[in-house]
């Protein structure tokens, strides 16, 4: 515990841009480590970028073909003997509440590479992840390290709007991804939970570029404002609808799928106000969950919205898709939702929720066979349900 306490004090006392240096100094003193390097996953989830290019100038590592990438995918600490040396590299996931940020690689002298030490380093990597999220408020260092290309202004706004790319709780696990990652403009997702419920929204602002991003920003913040006032999702949609109509008078609107999950029962309320779709994998069956279509937010003045209900069961996997996914067409004219979507869902059934969206988007790219500038959003939610303990059941 002394080492963990020393590292925690050092990291929390460090400047926001100097977290890795603080960890490095503490680990050199405690274990005689020979190197410490932090890699962060880029926006496209294709590579791991070193935060410190000075000590690691060779650049990005593949998420698919590197030891660090394999540790990122498995979310398990991995080790590798250093060639021609008496040292061992340990690759440790940097993850916060299911959000996979990157990998911390620590090179230990072979005689210090013990199970107890690795356990302490794993906890230090988790601590570092929490501190990075706090430091992001005050430095651009970690944001710069996440990008292999420059983001468009619209994409910058969209990524800043997101809650995270993944989240885990006792009752559910969420993973989501936007493409094209560096030029997204209208698609977005949002969620929030408390002790009793999870609220989730998938939105798609009409138009292109910064106009679509501005429209989506207004819609998401209007929904958040209403949600934080403690009102139901039908009224959340109505208030966001009014905010958009007052600004654009029906000339611009936002398609939205809005849901509220009761964590204790699995009962779900849904408002379908536009194009995002919900698909469910239950056992080996993949099917669309359809709702009564209601007007997109902001299309007409003072639209009324009604919530419908359905039930999720433990083991259900839900997919929330934008039209850039389910309506994509192959060169032979096959719409993705006709057959290819079900194949992709089945092919990814063994992956954790955080890894599913990127895998489905890879399948989508193969289906299209050509690059596309259309927004594509995939959000995967695994429902575990709230299991009552023995005392509660009796």
317 vs 319: CA distance, rounded Å: 7
**How confident is the prediction for the chain on average, in pLDDT?**
94
Where are any strands of DSSP class E within 246-332? 254-262, 267-273, 277-282, 285-289, 308-311, 317-321
118 vs 129: CA distance, rounded Å: 17
**Under a CB-based contact definition with an 8 Å cutoff, are residues 70 and 80 in contact?**
no
The most confident of the ranges 51-55, 62-66, 214-218 is 214-218
pTM over 0.85: yes
What is the per-residue pLDDT across 163-199, written as a single tens digit (0 to 9) for each? Answer: 999 999 999 999 999 999 999 999 999 999 999 999 9
What is the per-residue pLDDT across 85-122, written as a single tens digit (0 to 9) for each? Answer: 789 999 999 999 999 999 999 999 999 999 999 999 99
368 vs 248: CA distance, rounded Å: 34
Sheet (strand 35-41) strand order: 61-62, 47-50, 35-41, 99-109, 87-96, 78-81
48 vs 43: CA distance, rounded Å: 10
151 vs 153: CA distance, rounded Å: 6
């Amino acid at each position: 515990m002394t080492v963990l306490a020393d590292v925690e004090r050092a990291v929390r006392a460090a400047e926001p841009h100097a977290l890795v240096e603080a960890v490095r100094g503490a680990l050199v003193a405690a274990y005689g480590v020979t190197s410490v390097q932090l890699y962060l996953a880029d926006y496209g989830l294709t590579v791991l970028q070193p935060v410190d290019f000075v000590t690691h100038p060779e650049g990005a590592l593949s998420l698919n073909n590197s030891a660090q990438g394999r540790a990122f995918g498995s979310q398990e600490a991995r080790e590798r003997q250093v060639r021609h040396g008496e040292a061992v590299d340990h690759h440790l996931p940097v993850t916060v509440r299911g959000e996979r940020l990157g990998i911390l690689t620590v090179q230990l002298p072979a005689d210090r590479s013990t199970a107890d030490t690795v356990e302490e380093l794993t906890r230090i990597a988790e601590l570092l992840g929490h501190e990075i999220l706090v430091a992001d408020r005050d430095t651009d260092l970690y944001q710069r390290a996440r990008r292999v290309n420059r983001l468009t202004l619209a994409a910058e706004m969209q990524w800043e709007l997101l809650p995270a790319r993944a989240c885990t709780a006792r009752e559910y696990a969420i993973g989501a991804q936007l493409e094209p990652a560096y030029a997204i403009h209208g698609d977005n997702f949002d969620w929030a939970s408390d002790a009793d419920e999870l609220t989730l929204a998938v939105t798609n602002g009409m138009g292109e570029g910064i106009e679509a991003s501005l429209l989506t920003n207004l819609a998401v913040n209007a929904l958040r404002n209403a949600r934080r006032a403690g009102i139901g999702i039908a009224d959340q949609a109505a208030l966001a609808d009014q905010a958009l109509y007052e600004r654009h008078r029906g000339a611009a609107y936002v398609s939205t799928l809005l849901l509220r999950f009761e964590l204790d029962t699995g009962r779900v309320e849904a408002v379908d106000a536009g194009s995002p779709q919900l698909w469910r994998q239950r056992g080996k069956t993949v099917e669309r969950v359809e709702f009564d279509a209601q007007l997109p937010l902001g299309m007409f003045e003072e639209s009324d919205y009604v919530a419908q209900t359905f039930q999720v069961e433990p083991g259900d996997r839900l997919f929330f898709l934008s039209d850039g996914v389910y309506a994509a067409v192959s060169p032979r004219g096959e719409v993705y939702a006709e057959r290819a979507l079900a194949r992709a869902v089945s092919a990814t059934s063994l992956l954790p929720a955080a890894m599913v969206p990127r895998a489905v988007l890879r399948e989508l790219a193969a289906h299209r066979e050509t690059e596309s500038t259309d927004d594509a959003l995939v959000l995967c939610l695994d429902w575990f349900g709230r299991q009552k303990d023995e005392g509660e059941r009796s």
